[in-house]
Homo-oligomer: A and B are copies of this chain.
Amino acid sequence: MVSIKHIAKDLGVSAATVSYALSGKGRVSRALAERIRARAEDLGYRPSVAARALKTGRSGILGLVMPDLTNPLFPRMAQTLATVADSRGLGILIADSRGRADEQSEALRRLVGRGVDGVLVIPRKGSVPEPQPVPMIVINTASDPGSAVSADHAGGGALVAGHLAALGHRRIAIIGGDPVSEVQRDRIAGMVAALPPDADAQTGWGDAGIAALAERVAAGATAVMTTSDLLALRAHSELRRAGLNVPGDVSLTGFDDLPLATAMHPSLTTVAQDVRTIAEHAIEMITARIAGEPGEDCPRTVPMRLICRESTSTPRTNKEVQP
């Protein structure tokens, strides 16, 4: 490995001068600085991150803690965060929390122990990450007071609900995955709030909720809103099993715009997060905090986007359906 000293000896100057020339900080003559940069270039000099980290106390690495990665949205988040961080010269060290809350704390501690400059956390549903000795940015949802950046999950819920209401739906079944998840609760709260006063929406959870769907439709529901595309796929399977057509008999919506949303038939009307913008906010906020800037404390909320596909249409006209 070629160090600053090699370049220095090579050009007969001191190591300090090389450092100054490369960083452009000290007082080095134009000519010499240019020679040094050229020499560094063709010697293939790469500064030692370890040495720099030791001296400056900054590793240039951010930690990222995510819950179990079974949710296909997280990887997209990770990828985008990595890309954005990279454009600022930062690296992303991942630690998975294996879905358990205690592992989340453990993962955080491991990251901090590795000398990261800050941590980004997408908390496990229903958990609150404990404070850390380095800046921490939580990406969750608006109703979580600790959350610094989030998609506007409630707004997203409002978008689908508004869309269905505009199509004429009034009796709507809502399917959530897990009531412990603030994200899902916000999505559902947004849905409910956006429905007109004469609408009737009831929420069911998980497999039990899905199993009850046919009955709900028989009772007059003309649309089903879910809090994730995977739930929508499950719901769709159940509806078909009951002989119900989407969107002919029932409209159906998902959340997250996963790849499966277009692979399904009918393709799924869903809501997409602006992952890029969220990542940018998160990185921006954490770099500001690391730099010790005041850092506006106000959490930022990024709007979601409705994607209308084939799974939603006007309500069926015949109120009764025969399974």
Residues of A within 8 A of B (CB): 46, 48-51, 53-54, 59-61, 68-70, 72, 74-76, 78-79, 82-83, 86, 91-96, 98, 110-111, 113-115, 230, 233-234, 236-238, 240-241, 259-260, 263-265
Q: Cβ of A93 and Cβ of B96 under 8 Å apart?
A: no
CA distance A95 to B264 in the complex (A): 31
Interface of A is mostly: helix
Known: A113-B46, A114-B49. A94 touches B92 (CB 8 A): yes
Residues in B with CB closer than 8 Å to A48 are 54, 115
A86 lies within 8 A of B91 (CB): no
Q: Say which residue of B76, B92, B98 sits within 8 Å of A93 (CB atoms).
A: B92
The smallest C-beta distance from A217 to any residue of chain B, in angstroms, reads 16
Q: Could you list 17 examples of A-B contacts with CB < 8 Å?
A: A49-B115, A50-B50, A50-B51, A50-B53, A54-B54, A60-B114, A68-B79, A70-B259, A75-B75, A78-B78, A82-B95, A91-B110, A93-B94, A94-B94, A230-B263, A237-B263, A260-B260
A194 to B126, CA, bound (A): 48
Asked if A114 and B94 sit within 8 Å, CB to CB, the answer is no
Of all chain B residues, which has the CB nearest A92?
B94
Asked whether B95 lies within 8 Å of A93 as measured between CB atoms, the reply is no
A74-B75, A241-B265 known; 18 new pairs, CB 8 Å cut-off, are A46-B113, A49-B114, A50-B51, A50-B54, A54-B54, A69-B75, A69-B78, A70-B76, A78-B94, A79-B96, A82-B94, A82-B95, A83-B98, A91-B110, A91-B114, A233-B263, A236-B265, A240-B265
A185 to chain B minimum Cβ distance, whole angstroms, is 22
Residue of B nearest to A236 (CB): B265
Bound-state Cα–Cα, A91 to B46, Å? 21
